[in-house]
Amino acid sequence: MKRLLDIAKSLLGLLVLVALVIALALTLRGQQGESVAFQSPLLAATPTLTLNQAFESPIETPTRRPIPTIPPTVTRAPKPTEAPTPTPTITPVPTALPLPPSAFYALWAESFPLDLGQPWGVLWLADPRDIGSRQEVVRFEGQEIFEVAVSPDGRKLALVTVFWKTSTLWVANVDGTGLQQLDRATSLGGLFWGRDNHSLVYSIGWREDVMMPGGYEETVWRSAVELLDTATGEKRQLLEPELDVPLNVLGWSADGRELYYMLGVSQEIGYEYELRAVDRSTRSARKIAPLGSEPGLPILSPDGSKLLISTPEGVAWISADGKERGSILEQGHQAFWGPEVNEVIVGQVDEKEPLYHLQSINIHTQIARDLATFAIPGPGGWRPLALSSDRQWLAAYLYQTGLYWIHLPTGTMVPVPSQDRRVIFVAWVPRGTAEQ
């Protein structure tokens, strides 16, 4: 009986142990169900692998699409690069203007200055009615064009280019061929062709260290005048060096034997200027006449017989021998010699309207006649002016606006763009010469 009771107790304990195991299993399963309920949709959607499937193929790790991010901006110092070659001026007039054929071509220089980048200079030639078809005569890379002069027969060019502190003299045909370098100095300018079409005169300047009377050394400015034969390259000094005085070449006499120039004579206050001449063969110089303290830059007439002088007091003239003088008018914005002998062209700003009046005045009879009146598309007045000998076209420069060709019979104004560039008018070249 006792044995039966022990067996019953063992069975009862086994039942209790099984019940505990079952209860524990149910509890663990309930906790697993709760953890599944809180999984993210992405994880809950992951398929469950059976044991057999796990051995049949390797488990691939789930991948997520990367979240796009904005990279940080990094500021770096710019790398030094060479200055780009400037693009030539955009042509403003693509087609010819409906105007009568022009007997002259416009010749002008366009330069990109050093302080704005890599300098360059271009000499252009174009029919003023059709600047869009302009021709490039010659181009200088790394140099600005400072001055250009055309020989009397219109076939040769003399050019001065500048880079930094060096000026270079060049000679070429009017179409740009045959370009030659003939001189170089600190300063070159005042180009004037001889009436023989092959001699060229110009002023030259340089700095020089000299010993002063007090026993100290001082740097002074020297200037002289050179005469060059462009055919042979022979060069000689026409005027000996002057020390620290203004010297301006004005042009040749009517017979081509003398060169006129203006020299400043130092006074206690400022300078008094004199008109002088030097003989081409003997190099002997002579004083012709005093010009006062503010003569501006006298302009020699085309025939070499008279000089036009513009001062704050007015516009006057003087004969090349100094024997005759005359007053033209009390005030003029600009004056220059006209195509006819004894004729002066005067431009004046209208006092009431933004208009510019152009007049022709005979210096002996004082008879004046109106040539044209045209607008001023900006502040100030037109300068400098250059009239073609057929009186059809006027080249005019306006400060802050640029260079224009003005067709006087119709008043048509053709702009020559010059944004951030230096533009200078050179000459009206006869059509036949320009097209050769």
Residue 108 lies in a domain: yes
pLDDT of amino acid 47: 36
Residue 421 lies in a domain: yes
CA atoms of 167 and 204, how far apart (whole Å): 9
CATH code where residue 362 lies: 2.120.10.30
Residue 19 lies in a domain: no
pLDDT of amino acid 312: 75
403 closest CA partner among 128, 51, 166, 167: 128
Amino acid at 377: P
Sheet strand arrangement including 271-279: 247-252, 258-266, 271-279, 285-292
User: What does the pLDDT look like over 309-359, one tens digit per residue?
Assistant: 987 778 899 999 999 999 988 776 789 999 999 999 999 888 889 999 999
Cβ count near 317 (within 10 Å): 22
Identify the domain containing residue 345 by its residue range: 104-434
User: What does the pLDDT look like over 123-168, one tens digit per residue?
Assistant: 999 999 998 889 999 999 989 999 999 999 999 999 999 998 899 9
CA atoms of 329 and 341, how far apart (whole Å): 18
pLDDT of amino acid 19: 57
Mean pLDDT of the chain: 79
321 and 309 Cβ atoms separated by less than 8 Å: no
Pairing of strands 135-141, 120-126: antiparallel
Distance of CA 193 to the CA centre of its chain: 27
pLDDT of amino acid 126: 94
How large is the average pLDDT for residues 356-381? 90
Q: Is the pLDDT of residue 71 over 50?
A: no
Residue 145 lies in a domain: yes
Residue 39 lies in a domain: no
Q: What is the DSSP string of 118-178?
A: S-EEEEEEE-TT-GGG-EEEEEEET-EEEEEEE-TTS-EEEEEEEETTEEEEEEEETTS-S
CA atoms of 194 and 190, how far apart (whole Å): 13
Residue 75 lies in a domain: no
CA atoms of 260 and 226, how far apart (whole Å): 13
Residue 99 lies in a domain: no
User: Nearest 5°: CA angle at 428, between 423 and 431?
Assistant: 130
Tell me which of 219 and 408 has the higher pLDDT. 408
pLDDT of amino acid 17: 54
Residue 282 lies in a domain: yes
Q: Is the pLDDT of residue 184 over 80?
A: yes
Tell me which of 6 and 408 has the higher pLDDT. 408
- For 217, list phi and psi in degrees, rounded to 5: -95, 140
The token pair at 349 is 């700003």
CA atoms of 231 and 47, how far apart (whole Å): 100
pLDDT of amino acid 294: 82
- What is the domain count for the chain? 1
User: Nearest 5°: CA angle at 427, between 107 and 339?
Assistant: 145
406 and 396 Cβ atoms separated by less than 8 Å: yes
Assign 3-state DSSP to the chain and report helix, strand, coil percentages, each to 5: 15, 45, 40
pLDDT of amino acid 400: 79
Q: Is the pLDDT of residue 102 over 60?
A: yes
Tokens 């710019």 sit at which residue? 78
